[in-house]
Amino acid sequence: DGGITQSPKYLFRKEGQNVTLSCEQNLNHDAMYWYRQDPGQGLRLIYYSQIVNDFQKGDIAEGYSVSREKKESFPLTVTSAQKNPTAFYLCASSPRPSTDTQYFGPGTRLTVL
Amino acid sequence: KQEVTQIPAALSVPEGENLVLNCSFTDSAIYNLQWFRQDPGKGLTSLLLIQSSQREQTSGRLNASLDKSSGRSTLYIAASQPGDSATYLCAVGPLKAAGNKLTFGGGTRVLVKP
- The strand ranges marked E within B18-85 are 19-25, 30-38, 44-51, 56-59, 62-67, 72-77
Mean pLDDT (chain A, rounded): 92
Please say if the pLDDT value at position B77 is more than 70.
Answer: yes
B98: confidence class by pLDDT, cuts 50, 70, 90 = low
Given a contact cutoff of 8 angstroms between Cβ atoms, the answer to whether A32 and A92 are in contact is yes
Residues of B within an 8 Å Cβ radius of A: 4, 6, 9, 31-32, 34, 36, 41-46, 49, 89, 91, 93, 98-102, 104-107
pLDDT 10s digits, B25-43 = 999 988 899 999 999 989 9
With the C-alpha atoms ordered A23, A25, A30, A35, is the resulting torsion angle positive or negative? negative
Please say if the pLDDT value at position A10 is more than 70.
Answer: yes
Closest residue in chain A to residue B101, using alpha carbons only: A45
Return d(Cα B53, Cα B66) in angstroms, integer. 9
pLDDT 10s digits, A29-68 = 999 999 999 987 889 999 999 999 999 999 999 999 999 9
Chain A interface mutation, best of B5, B57, B59, B100, highest count of A Cβ atoms under 10 Å: B100
Q: pLDDT value at position B60?
A: 96
A113 vs B90: which has the higher pLDDT: B90
Number of other CB atoms surrounding residue B86 within 10 Å: 19
In the DSSP assignment, the letter for residue A73 is B
- Using a CB-CB distance cutoff of 8 angstroms, which residues of chain B are in contact with residue A58? 101
Q: pLDDT value at position B68?
A: 93
Nearest CA-CA partner of B10 in B94, B75, B106: B106
